[in-house]
Amino acid sequence: MDTQETHFGFQQVPVHEKAQKVKAVFDSVAPNYDLMNDLMSLGVHRLWKHFTINAAAVQKGWKILDLAGGTGDLTSAFARKVGETGKVVLADINVEMLNVGRDRLVNEGLVENIQYVQADAEKLPFESDYFNLITIAFGLRNVTHKENALASMFRVLKPGGRLLILEFSQVNFPPLKTLYDIYSFQILPLLGKFIANDEGSYRYLAESIRMHPDQGTLKQMMEESGFERCEYFNLTGGIVALHCGYKF
């Protein structure tokens, strides 16, 4: 029996239990996910995603994987940019999140160049050297074995392709860090309790951010997975960082 442990927020849990626990969190938050994102970030998450979309510099005809794409914010923008000759795959391990994203994008009239796939980031079910671009926004911190996910993403990228990781990171401005900690551990769970009737899931989200590798560590992990020209951009004082890397 596997006795290895990993973190689920601040808890230590058996490795084989983490995926199910994360699934339960996102099963719970899926119906209110977009509303809570707006409330939690005061709408700033839209600016972070806009920065990512601009950094992607998408071209017509590209094949793009929006991994852990959830409710489809990035997919919506990319589908318009790749045009009829391109394709965007919205992939998420959580079927509830995937269903919310599909319903939203269909309501937006985006049906021709989007594919929906339930997929584990550690074992992507796509052929090698396939995608021009992979994005993963606010999903990597929930992956049990991040090094396996990075290796899997590297495999399915085309040579010359790029990976963009948008993720919560480590605040690098001390006065902001104090306020951010108060918000994360006192206010955020209360928002979850009163808006989504789920205090525990939002407490986990705050804890999972603190357990995620910092900017330099994640950059090193990308390089160890084969990515080159890796760099990152701190957004909102390091609350969020966008990491970029190429496959050559």
pLDDT digits over 87-142, tens only?
A: 999 999 999 889 999 999 999 999 899 999 999 999 999 999 999 999 999 999 99
* Distance in angstroms (rounded) separating the CA atoms of residues 211 and 200: 17
Residue pair 62/134 in contact (Cβ under 8 Å)? The answer is no
Contact in structure between 22 and 105 (CB atoms under 8 Å): no
pLDDT tens readout for residues 149-198? 999 999 999 999 999 999 999 998 888 999 999 998 999 888 888 877 88
Q: What is the pTM of this model?
A: 0.89
- Compute the average pLDDT of residues 1-16: 74
Band (pLDDT 50/70/90 cuts) for residue 3 is low
Edge-to-edge strands, sheet with 228-235: 114-118, 87-92, 63-67, 131-137, 157-168, 240-246, 228-235
**What are the extents of the domains in the chain?**
20-173+202-246
To 10 degrees, the CA torsion angle through 181, 185, 188, 193?
-170
Contacts of 193 (CB under 8 A, 6+ apart): 199, 202
Specify the residue for token string 């190429």. Answer: 246
CATH architecture of 20-173+202-246: 3-Layer(aba) Sandwich (3.40)
**Residue 1 banded pLDDT, cuts 50, 70, 90:** very low
Whether 15 shows a pLDDT value over 90: the answer reads no
Averaged pLDDT of the chain: 91
Instruction: Flag whether pLDDT at 19 surpasses 80.
Output: no
